[in-house]
């Protein structure tokens, strides 16, 4: 009965257990597993047939792609230039050419078999020389075949293609809409004729895209002009435009660009604004700050909040100063001295907050005005 459970353990554990038992000279119940050794077998006279190993191509012999150069057990030879190795260490040619058996100074203990692309070039190629490469591709001269091959898509591309097209269509539509928007908006800031307006709108679309992409306004303007000029010089290169007319077109563009840049800017939220001089900017900023400071003592309500927000969202402030101003003038809770606890229970508001210094929850009672709720 007891033997049974021991036999269920793995034989290795049982073996260890038994040896431990033997040493301890305690009574041992020997376990015998149900094994019977098989009859002995003849071990001599074993030999396999020849595996037909050995070199299949000699030095300087001409080979085609994929021809086997040597069959071997282990890497008696290593694959050199333009030769590959299989999982049974068979070396084969990767390019057509002439077989070379050679030594490489970087692996002094190895022998290599490679394929030279020329009859006379020895291997290995000197270490710092450019590699000798065969192009090996065949041009499709038949126009039908060529166009079919050009249109052929990989499976991945084929699956993605409709989406790519639709995305492109959407993007183009967005660009057109943007251009239309600028065509409508720009006359407010700058006087432009019909053709000039088209150019200006296109410029603004490009500038906005670049600014949104992370460039500064100056860089965006510069690269927009640069792209225009570059495209024009390419037109000249193609012969579609004469050099002289290209110059005049460029000059016209520069004129429009200067006019436009002097009139409009994009603020930090990419909103189209009138360009201000430094003095004007300073004056506006001071004016708004004064207005904001005037609101500081008045308790907030929804109307006032909207008014302050509209004041802050002005082109004269950049993103970080807008955040600072919001923190200062649009506090969710007014600073402590304003709206101290009132006895009137109807207008009282209670909040709980965590006191980090003392590690406990504080209950704060304030007037509702302090929260801008009325």
Residues that bind another protein (CB under 8 A): 1-2, 4-6, 13, 16-17, 20-21, 23-24, 26-27, 29, 75, 78-79, 85-90, 106-107, 127-140, 146, 149-150, 152, 206, 209-210, 212-215, 219, 222-223, 226-227, 230-231, 234, 237-239, 354, 356-357
73: three-class secondary structure by DSSP: coil
Least separation in angstroms between CB 54 and another protein: 17
150 exposure class (CB count in 10 Å sphere: 0-12, 13-18, 19+): exposed
Nearer to another protein, 79 or 339 (CB): 79
Query: Residue 319, by phi and psi: left (phi above 0), alpha (psi -120 to 50) or beta?
Result: alpha
Nearer to another protein, 162 or 194 (CB): 162
Q: Where are the beta strands (DSSP E) in 160-271?
A: 264-266
Nearer to another protein, 230 or 341 (CB): 230
Nearer to another protein, 230 or 269 (CB): 230
Least separation in angstroms between CB 91 and another protein: 8
> How far apart, in whole angstroms, are the C-alpha atoms of residue 346 and residue 144?
86
Least separation in angstroms between CB 110 and another protein: 9
Nearer to another protein, 117 or 311 (CB): 117
Nearest to 289 by CA among 262, 311, 319: 311
Half-sphere exposure of 92 (CA within 13 A, CB side): 12
Query: Residue 186, by phi and psi: left (phi above 0), alpha (psi -120 to 50) or beta?
Result: alpha
Nearer to another protein, 67 or 368 (CB): 67
Least separation in angstroms between CB 221 and another protein: 12
* Beta-ladder partners of 354: 361
Q: Give every CB contact of residue 18 below 8 A, 6+ residues apart in sequence.
A: 28, 30, 31
Least separation in angstroms between CB 231 and another protein: 8
Least separation in angstroms between CB 145 and another protein: 8
> How far apart, in whole angstroms, are the C-alpha atoms of residue 182 and residue 198?
9
State phi, psi for 176 to the nearest 5 degrees: -65, -40
Nearer to another protein, 29 or 35 (CB): 29
Nearer to another protein, 60 or 227 (CB): 227
Kind of pairing between the strands at 68-71 and 91-93:
antiparallel
> How far apart, in whole angstroms, are the C-alpha atoms of residue 188 and residue 191?
8
Least separation in angstroms between CB 213 and another protein: 4
Nearest to 113 by CA among 163, 146, 70, 149: 70
> How far apart, in whole angstroms, are the C-alpha atoms of residue 246 and residue 128?
47
Least separation in angstroms between CB 369 and another protein: 24
Report which secondary-structure segment, H or E, holds 324: helix 319-329
Least separation in angstroms between CB 208 and another protein: 9
Nearer to another protein, 91 or 316 (CB): 91
């Amino acid at each position: 009965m007891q033997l049974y459970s021991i036999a269920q353990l793995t034989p290795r554990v049982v073996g260890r257990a038994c040896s431990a038992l033997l040493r301890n000279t305690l009574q041992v119940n020997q376990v015998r597993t149900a094994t019977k050794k098989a009859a002995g077998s003849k071990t001599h006279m074993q030999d396999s047939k020849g595996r037909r190993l050995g070199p299949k191509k000699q030095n300087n012999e001409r080979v085609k792609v994929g021809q086997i150069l040597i069959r071997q057990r282990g890497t008696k030879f290593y694959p050199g230039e333009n030769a590959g190795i299989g999982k049974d260490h068979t070396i084969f040619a990767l390019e057509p050419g002439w077989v070379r058996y050679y030594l490489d100074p970087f692996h002094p203990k190895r022998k290599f078999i490679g394929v030279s692309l020329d009859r006379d070039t020895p291997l290995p190629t000197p270490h710092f020389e450019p590699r000798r490469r065969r192009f090996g591709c065949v041009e499709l001269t038949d126009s039908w075949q060529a166009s079919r091959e050009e249109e052929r898509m990989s499976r991945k591309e084929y699956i993605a293609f409709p989406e790519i097209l639709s995305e492109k269509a959407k993007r183009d539509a967005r660009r057109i809409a943007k251009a239309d928007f600028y065509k409508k908006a720009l006359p407010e800031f700058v006087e432009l004729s019909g053709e000039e307006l088209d150019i200006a709108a296109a410029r603004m679309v490009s500038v906005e895209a670049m600014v949104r992409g992370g460039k500064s306004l100056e860089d965006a303007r510069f690269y927009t002009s640069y792209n225009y000029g570059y495209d024009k010089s390419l037109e000249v290169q193609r012969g579609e435009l004469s050099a002289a007319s290209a110059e005049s077109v460029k000059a016209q563009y520069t004129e429009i660009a200067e006019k436009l840049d002097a009139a409009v800017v994009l603020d930090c939220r990419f909103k189209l604004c009138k360009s201000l001089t430094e003095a004007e900017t300073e004056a506006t900023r001071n004016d708004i700050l004064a207005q904001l400071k005037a609101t500081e003592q008045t308790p907030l309500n929804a109307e006032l909040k909207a008014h302050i927000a509209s004041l802050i969202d002005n082109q004269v402030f950049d993103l970080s100063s807008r955040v600072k101003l919001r923190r200062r003038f649009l506090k969710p809770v007014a600073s402590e001295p304003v709206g101290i606890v009132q006895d009137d229970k109807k207008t009282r508001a209670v909040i709980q907050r965590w006191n980090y210094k003392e590690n406990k929850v504080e209950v704060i009672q304030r007037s509702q005005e302090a929260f801008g709720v009325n």
